[in-house]
Amino acid sequence: MIVVLIADFHDSGVYRRRYRARAMHRWKWHRSTPKRRGQEQTGKLTSVNGCSRRLLASLALKEGCGKSQHLPARFVPHARWVMQLLAQLLIVVGQCRTHQNEASMSTGVQPGIGAEQWRQLTRERGWLWTPGQSLEGLQPATLLLAHGAGAPMDSAFMNSMAMHLAAQGIGVLRFEFPYMAQRRGGGSKRPPNPQAQLLACWREVYAEVRPLVAGRLAVGGKSMGGRMASLIVDELQVDALVCLGYPFYAVGKPEKPRVAHLAELKTPALFIQGERDALGNRESVAGYKLSSTIELHWLPTANHDLKPLKVAGISHDQCLVESAQVIARFLRV
């Protein structure tokens, strides 16, 4: 805390005589003595370098020192220099706050939590945060992305998608379901948790992240992660849903589609699907009744991992770049 009392003294002789014998290192507050009975000597706050009287007055500490407080007269010559220094300090502090807010907007983190605090939080929770690049004129957007049934949050597919989305200005936060986190901790390979546990994990992560992220926050995931998200987006009232390779049915079981809830979906949704996806190809999906809020983007000859055939003339990475571009446009509509 910086406390400054600045005053213009009408008669400093009293203070010179009174404090002349005191040691220089002893600063004592003194209640001014009236020159005549019924009169009180007071100080007067002034304006320096554009600092208003109100601003300077707000910086004065007026508690516990009597009705009028002043510094010893020998310090008065330094008053103007101190005020100028204080004015410069206020400017620097204001600039720092501005830069912090700009950084928060570019990364998608709320001004109420700093970038270092955010990084520490993600480390403690075991999440992966890929900040979106700052793009001029675009508001921040974040995608909370869950992994599929068999691959972790840092698989080659997930890493590539996060990188390409970040290049489009979309921040990506990844997390793992309990069974995958246990596997990472040294446990044996195990199947996914029951659906109730997966949904509970989604709710818990979203509830913690939502207050800390500025701008739009979409949820979604690869395959199973996206399907679990689709089951609770209306309940959580999220901004948008993004599914990468949605498992419309189990392998070899197109007669048992998992689309009942998709017919009534209210949340804006984007499904990016490969035309040859073994869990939902273009021909099969065309026969399903889907909500009008769902937008389908098909990748020619691509499979469940959005990887195309060589005859398509494009690479897997190009398909992922295209997917990231489509997602970025969708989230900024």
- Residue 72 is predicted with a pLDDT of 58
Pairing of strands 30-31, 69-70: antiparallel
Pairing of strands 141-146, 69-70: unpaired
| Rounded-to-integer distance, Cα 113 and Cα 1, Å | 22
Q: Tell me what the pLDDT averaged over the chain comes to.
A: 78
- What are 181's two structure tokens? 């986190």
Q: How confident is the model at residue 10 (pLDDT cuts 50, 70, 90)?
A: very low
| Rounded-to-integer distance, Cα 223 and Cα 204, Å | 20
Q: Which amino acid is at 209?
A: V
- Residue 79 is predicted with a pLDDT of 62
- Residue 139 is predicted with a pLDDT of 78
pLDDT at 27 over 50: no
Beta bridge partners of 244: 222, 272
Choice between 160 and 332, residue whose per-residue pLDDT is larger:
160
pTM above 0.85, yes or no: no
- Residue 77 is predicted with a pLDDT of 59
- Residue 119 is predicted with a pLDDT of 86
CB burial of 220-238 (b: ≥16 within 10 Å; e: otherwise) equals: bbbbbbbbbbbbbbeebeb
pLDDT at 207 over 70: yes
Q: How many residues are listed for the chain in this entry? A: 333
Q: Domain ranges in the chain?
A: 13-103, 110-331
For residue 316, what is the enclosing H or E element? Answer: helix 316-331
pLDDT at 25 over 50: no
**Homologous superfamily of the 110-331 domain (CATH):** Alpha/Beta hydrolase fold, catalytic domain (3.40.50.1820)
Please write the tens of the pLDDT for every residue from 102-116. 444 445 666 557 788
Q: How confident is the model at residue 320 (pLDDT cuts 50, 70, 90)?
A: very high
Q: Over pLDDT 70: what percentage of the chain? A: 66
Residue 147 vs residues 142, 151, 178, 197: alpha-carbon distances, Å? 16, 7, 12, 15
Average pLDDT over every residue of 261-287:
97
Please write the tens of the pLDDT for every residue from 208-253. 999 998 889 999 999 999 999 999 999 999 999 999 999 999 988 8
pLDDT at 65 over 80: no
- Residue 5 is predicted with a pLDDT of 35
H-state helical runs in 3-131: 13-19, 53-58, 79-107, 115-125
